[in-house]
């Protein structure tokens, strides 16, 4: 028969309430007692019924990840990181994809929070960058942690985990400049994402500090997709226009870069001999292309796990909150870049 909380309490020689406190990772339990309960849980293979816990008491043990992002690899990494923290801390995870452009987005998420008894929310761009939306959620007395692009939080609406895309983009653009490239194209991601803005700023800053004239004709508006990379690279490398053809292309993420590489092959442009291409994020796209992409390593799973731990500590009102460091994606040099 399946072990119950009563079985655990009996084997550990403690009360049911103490077992519950250990399972909920409450700090008001002595270490020796905690170890006895954890040993009993392991020996009996006890599996707490988290749904029942949510229904039985006033506390909720569910958090939700709310997102609007077409990049499957990004979403998978985020889910893995959040789930890792939830499993360790005895919380359930609800996944809720949505459309940030929907005029009823706030009402949709507010209703979900109320009906699902959510204790906290993790938001990623562009939802994390919509202050009025965030204010509506905070007003529900639900904890919110945002993952955002930038070096400092833009406000004090809720705690943030920051990703410094600007410095990373500057570093990766400088890598191209150090290889002798001066005509460097830029294929943007979605304009609504702050990561696009921050990566563009880093690109511009690298050019400026190296005294390279900025050519707006080398900047292509796009979105975070493979097709955007294909069309963007075709525009930049077209022989039909009188515009300067770049010797290198900065792609706002690896999916765009993979598309740009594909377009280059269609146009019989050799990579990296005739054109260097860089991506961003170090997603599987960067390792599945040929040649493999030079990129910036953005540890999305770890970022998500840190955000989840921060959220759960907020839900539990722990005195010692986790300290979240700012993430700066690191340059990874592979085979898609070479000297000009």
Give per-residue burial for 105-118: e unless 16+ CB within 10 Å, then b: bbeebbebbeeeeb
Q: Is 67 among the domain residues?
A: yes
**What's the pTM value of the predicted model, to 2 decimals?**
0.80
pLDDT value for 11: 87
Q: Can you give the pLDDT at residue 256? A: 97
Beta-bridge partners for 66: 96, 123
Do 170 and 290 fall within a single domain?
A: yes
What is the number of domains present in the chain?
Answer: 3
Among 138, 80, 131, residue whose Cα is nearest residue 113? 138
Which pLDDT score, from 0 to 100, does residue 43 have?
86
Claim to verify: residue 181 and residue 256 sit in the same structural domain: yes
Give domain status of residue 35, yes or no: yes
266 contacts: CB under 8 Å, gap ≥ 6: 234
Question: What is the mean pLDDT of the segment spanning 325-339?
Answer: 94
What are the helix (H) ranges across 210-281? 226-237, 254-266
State the helix-helix crossing angle for 194-209 and 165-178, rounded to 10 degrees: 40
Percent of the chain beyond pLDDT 70? 92
**C-alpha span between 308 and 242 (Å, rounded):** 51
Do 18 and 126 lie in a common domain? Answer: no
Give the tens place of pLDDT for each residue, 82-133: 999 998 888 889 999 999 989 899 999 988 888 878 889 999 999 999 999 9
CATH code for the domain in which residue 45 is found: 1.10.260.40
Question: Has residue 78 been placed in a domain?
Answer: yes
Q: Is the domain of 176 the same as that of 279?
A: yes
Q: Do both 229 and 267 map to the same domain?
A: yes
Instruction: Between 43 and 264, name the one with better pLDDT.
Output: 264
Pair 31, 69 in one domain: no
109: CB partners within 8 A, 6+ apart: 66, 96, 98, 121, 133, 137
Question: For residue 285, what pLDDT band results from cuts at 50, 70 and 90?
Answer: confident
User: 335 lies in a domain?
Assistant: no
β-strands 276-278, 330-332 pairing: unpaired
Same domain assignment for residues 199 and 280: yes
Q: Residue 32 has which token pair?
A: 């020796």
Are residues 145 and 212 part of one domain? Answer: no
> 127 and 203 share a domain?
no
- Tell me whether strands 120-123 and 92-97 are parallel, antiparallel or unpaired: unpaired
Gap between the terminal Cα atoms of the chain? 69
Q: Rounded to an integer, what distance in angstroms lies between the CA atom of residue 328 and that of residue 199? A: 12
8 Å CB contact between 226 and 199: no
Give domain status of residue 339, yes or no: no
How far, in Å, CA of 81 to CA of 83, rounded?
A: 6
Residue whose C-alpha is closest to residue 291's, from 306, 274, 307, 309? 274
Are 220 and 138 in the same domain? no
More confident residue, 227 or 88: 227
Residue 263 pLDDT level (bands cut at 50, 70, 90)? very high
Judgement on whether residues 95 and 152 belong to the same structural domain of the protein: yes
Answer for the pair 258, 228: CB distance below 8 angstroms, yes or no: no
Is 338 within the bounds of a domain? Answer: no
Whether 119 and 54 have beta carbons less than 8 Å apart is answered as no
Residue 40 lies in a domain: yes
pLDDT of res. 58: 46
Question: pLDDT tens, 157-207?
Answer: 999 999 999 999 999 999 999 999 999 999 999 988 999 999 999 999 999
Distance CA 219, CA 301 (A): 30
Domain span including residue 322: 62-164+299-329
Instruction: Please report whether residue 340 resides in a domain.
Output: no
Please tell me whether residues 137 and 149 are part of one structural domain.
yes
- C-alpha to C-alpha distances, 97 to 10, 105, 127, 161, 304, nearest whole angstrom: 43, 11, 11, 20, 16
The DSSP code for 128 is G
The domain spanning residue 252 has which CATH number? Answer: 3.40.50.2300
* Of the candidate ranges 218-227, 266-275, 315-324, the one whose mean pLDDT is the lowest: 315-324
Helices (H) and strands (E) in the chain, counts: 13, 11
Angle at 139 between CA 135 and CA 143, to 5 degrees: 90
Q: Which of 140-144, 228-232, 252-256 has the lowest mean pLDDT?
A: 140-144
Q: Tell me: the pLDDT tens digits for 44-96?
A: 888 766 555 544 444 567 899 999 987 888 999 999 999 999 988 888 899 99
CA atoms of 146 and 304, how far apart (whole Å) = 10
């Amino acid at each position: 028969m399946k072990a119950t909380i009563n079985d655990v309490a009996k084997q550990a020689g403690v009360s049911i309430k103490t077992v519950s406190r250990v399972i909920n990772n409450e700090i008001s339990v002595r270490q020796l007692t905690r170890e006895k309960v954890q040993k009993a849980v392991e020996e009996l293979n006890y599996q707490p019924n988290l749904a029942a816990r949510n229904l039985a008491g006033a506390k909720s043990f569910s958090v939700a990840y709310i997102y609007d992002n077409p990049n499957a690899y990004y979403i998978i990494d985020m889910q893995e990181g959040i789930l890792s923290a939830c499993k360790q801390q005895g919380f359930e995870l609800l996944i809720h994809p949505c459309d940030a452009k929907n005029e009823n987005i706030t009402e949709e998420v507010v209703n979900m929070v109320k009906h699902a008894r959510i204790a906290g929310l993790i938001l990623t761009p562009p939802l994390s960058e919509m202050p009025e939306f965030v204010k509506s959620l905070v007003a529900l007395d639900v904890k919110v942690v945002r993952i955002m692009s930038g070096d400092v939080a833009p406000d004090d609406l809720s705690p943030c985990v920051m990703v410094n895309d600007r410095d990373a983009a500057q570093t990766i653009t400088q890598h191209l400049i150090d290889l002798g490239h001066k005509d460097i194209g830029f294929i943007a991601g979605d304009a609504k994402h702050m990561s696009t803005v921050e990566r563009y700023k880093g690109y511009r800053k690298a050019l400026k500090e190296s005294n390279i004239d900025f050519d707006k004709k080398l900047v292509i508006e796009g979105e975070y997709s493979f097709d955007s990379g294909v069309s963007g690279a075709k525009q930049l490398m077209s022989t039909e226009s009188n515009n300067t053809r770049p010797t290198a292309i900065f792609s706002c993420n690896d999916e765009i870069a993979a598309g740009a590489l594909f377009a280059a092959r269609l146009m019989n442009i050799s990579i990296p001999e005739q054109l260097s291409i860089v991506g961003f994020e170090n997603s599987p796209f960067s390792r599945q292309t040929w040649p493999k992409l030079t990129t910036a390593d953005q540890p999305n799973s770890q970022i998500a796990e840190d955000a989840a731990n921060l959220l759960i500590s907020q839900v539990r009102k722990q005195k010692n909150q986790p300290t979240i460091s700012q993430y700066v994606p690191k340059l990874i040099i592979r085979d898609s870049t070479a000297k000009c």
